[in-house]
Homo-oligomer: A and B are copies of this chain.
Amino acid sequence: MPKSWSGSRVDLHLALDASGGRRCGLESALRDAIRQGRLTAGTLLPSTRGLAGELGLSRGTVTAAYDQLVEEGFLTTRPGSGTTVADVPPQTVPSASAAPAPAGPRHDLRPGLPDVGAFPARAWIAATRRVVTGSRAAALGAGDPQGRIELRTAVSDYLGRTRGVVTTPGRIVITSGYYQGLSLLSGVLARHGATSVAVEDPGHDVFRSVVQRAGLATPALPVDARGARVDALAPGVDAVLLTPAHQYPTGVPLHPARRQAVGAWARSTGGLVIEDDYDGEYRYDRQPVGALQGIAPERTVYCGTASKTLGPALRLAWLALPPQLVEPVVAAKQQADLYTESLTQLILADLITTHAYDRHVRAARLRYRRRRELLLARVGRVAGLTAHGVPAGLHTLVSLPAGWPPEDEILAVCARRGVALRGLTELHIDPDGRPAGLLIGFAAPAEHAYRPALDALFATLPPPAPGVGR
């Protein structure tokens, strides 16, 4: 027996102590010894009888362990010539330490995030129970690329009832979030010959990138106090991506005359309207304005999401499509990932049909309304600071008075105090000469954490005069 073998014996013995069974322990010890190069290729192993005696194991245990490692390719055996170590090079076994999950900001005033602390946990658990103890084959068997019919039916009804969307379950496609939905839709449009989708400026940079990645140009549509300048739609544009209920980021709704104009544009040119109704549930001064889709359902793709009501982690969104787009979008979805996870879809369908979802949204609307009023009161106390947009959504745009430090400096000061929010500048397609501003989300913090977050923010506003330091 080679000298190195004796050396490995202690390790083997230690492994045997540490593991569940003797055979598993022996296998692990041998695997590790081979991987770490302590047993090198070609080394002749002791006979099963010899090793069994040496380690105080039964011969059957050692034989079984050798057999296992032969199957796995760590050992080689040839009749009459014993068992040798196969040609497996030593490996650096990677360290097992995992990076900890990144902690969120201390004061989360980022736009577009709901208060997940208000997640309707009890209703969710009850719905989970109904779903997984109900017809399990339906819940857990193969899914539907278009989305579960239960959720499509619930969403179709919900959208008609709350957002004036004209659709049917057959025209709804469920996607793993709006990001995926827009990505699939953009790919379909590009494959069908579209070359450009007009986007709002300022607008959501991430979604502009999604459209561009499909190979589509994104001509800019300026935004003014009446929303996107749809009168400025260039000839030949194939589609327009709009946030009509509450323009992101300025917070203005699309003016009634412009709603009619974009509908007329779609009908006369055959263009497509993509309506991102990201936070259409939240209007605080009046009944929400119905979806733009309602006046041109055959030319509009309506996009909704559970991200602003229950939380982005659920990755559930829906497209209400004109009929001719249903089949190609479903095919694109299938090619991407077959279908969206079913359990969460069935649970959400249950919450909608039992009206637990409506109750949750209504309660959130009351809370966010109070939070917005609180925010605007604080804004009003800072000389020169102005809030824009209608009382709606999960954020407010605040423009900066003349003479204040640049936006990025203010954001940096906020970040140092643990306050996360967003600047307007990066949402302009070409920020040169365009106004700066702060996007202040008022929904993300837990209820108890909201006032402290505002305190932390307004401790930095107005910012210290240059040179004064902190």
Task: Say yes or no: A267 contacts B89, CB within 8 Å.
Answer: yes
Q: Could you tell me if B149 and A132 are in contact, using CB atoms closer than 8 angstroms?
A: no
Annotate A204-248 by CB proximity to B: 1 below 8 A, 0 otherwise: 000000000100000000000000000000000000000000000
- A313 and B346 CA atoms in complex are apart in Å by 11
Q: Which of A44-85 contact B (CB under 8 A)?
A: 64, 68, 70-74, 76
Q: Considering the chains assembled together, what is the distance between the CA atoms of A314 and B179 in angstroms?
A: 20
Complex alpha-carbon distance, A183 and B89, angstroms: 30
Most chain B CB within a 10 A radius of its CB, from A87, A94, A104, A152: A94
- Nearest B residue to A298 via CB reads B91
Which candidate, A168-176, A360-368, A391-399, A405-413, is the interface stretch facing chain B? A168-176
Question: Does A117 belong to the interface (CB within 8 Å)?
Answer: yes
Shortest Cβ distance from A267 into B: residue: B89
Q: How many copies does the complex hold?
A: 2
| Inter-subunit contact A136/B117 (CB<8 Å) | yes
Contacts of A109 in B (CB 8 A): none
Q: Which residue of B lies closest to A337 (CB)?
A: B180
Q: Are A256 and B73 in contact (CB under 8 A)?
A: yes
Q: Given A98-B149, A132-B121, A341-B176, do A140 and B315 touch, yes or no (CB 8 Å)? A: no
CA A177 – CA B166 in complex, angstroms? 33
- Give, as a whole number of angstroms, the nearest-CB distance from A363 to chain B: 15
A101 and B138: CB pair below 8 A?
yes
CB within 8 Å for A260 and B143 given contacts A132-B119, A149-B98, A343-B314:
no
A40 CB-CB contact with B under 8 Å: no
Q: Which B residues are CB-close (under 8 A) to A89?
A: 267
Q: How far is the CB of A314 from chain B (nearest CB, A)?
A: 6
Residue A382 lies at the interface, judged by CB distance under 8 Å to chain B: no
Q: Which residue of B lies closest to A311 (CB)?
A: B140
A363→B72 CA distance, assembly (Å): 25
CA distance A310 to B86 in the complex (A): 36
Taking a contact as CB atoms under 8 Å apart, the answer to whether A166 and B72 are in contact is no
B312 and A340 contacting across the interface, CB-CB below 8 Å? no
B343 with A168: CB separation less than 8 A: no
User: Which residues does chain B contribute within 8 Å of A156, judged by CB atoms?
Assistant: 96, 98
B87 with A264: CB separation less than 8 A: yes
The residues in A between 304 and 320 inclusive whose CB is less than 8 angstroms from any CB of B are: 310-316
Name the residue of chain B whose CB is nearest to the CB of A20: B161
Task: Digitize A281-309: 1 where CB-to-B-CB distance is under 8 Å, 0 elsewhere.
Answer: 00000110110101111100000000000
Chain A 23-37 interface 0/1 with B at a Cβ cutoff of 8 Å (1 = within): 000000001000100
Q: Does A335 count as interface, using CB distance less than 8 angstroms?
A: yes
Set of chain B residues within 8 Å of A177, measured between Cβ atoms: 337-338
Interface: A141 (CB within 8 A): yes
Please determine whether A141 and B313 come into contact, CB atoms closer than 8 angstroms: yes
CA distance A101 to B163 in the complex (A): 26
Q: Select one of B35, B142, B167, B313 contacting A342, CB under 8 A.
A: B313
Q: Are B88 and A295 in contact (CB under 8 A)?
A: yes
- CB contacts (< 8 Å) of A429 on chain B: these are none
Q: Is A465 an interface residue (CB 8 A)?
A: no
Interface check A153, CB cutoff 8 A = yes
With A128-B128, A132-B121 known as contacts, the answer to whether A256 contacts B35 (CB < 8 A) is no
Q: With A and B bound together, what is the CA distance between A158 and B169 in angstroms?
A: 40
User: Is the CB of A100 closer than 8 A to any CB of chain B?
Assistant: yes
Q: Does A124 contact B (CB under 8 A)?
A: yes
Contacts of A166 in B (CB 8 A): 35, 91, 93-94
Contact partner of A338 (CB less than 8 A), chosen from B87, B315, B446, is B315
Q: Which of these, B121, B176, B260, contacts A136 with CB under 8 Å?
A: B121
Q: How far is the CA of A160 from the CA of B253 in the complex (A)?
A: 54
Q: A101-B149, A140-B313 are in contact. List 11 more A-B contacts (CB 8 A).
A: A72-B295, A88-B296, A99-B149, A101-B148, A116-B137, A176-B176, A176-B340, A179-B337, A183-B335, A314-B341, A314-B343
Residues in chain A within 8 A of chain B (CB atoms): 31, 35, 64, 68, 70-74, 76, 86-89, 91, 93-101, 104, 113, 116-117, 119, 121, 124-125, 128-129, 132-133, 136-144, 148-150, 152-153, 156, 164, 166-171, 175-177, 179-180, 183, 213, 253, 256-257, 259-260, 263-264, 267, 286-287, 289-290, 292, 294-298, 310-316, 323, 335-344, 446
Q: Which 10 A/B pairs are nearest by Cβ-Cβ distance?
A: A140-B311, A73-B259, A313-B342, A98-B169, A116-B140, A180-B337, A315-B341, A121-B132, A72-B290, A94-B168
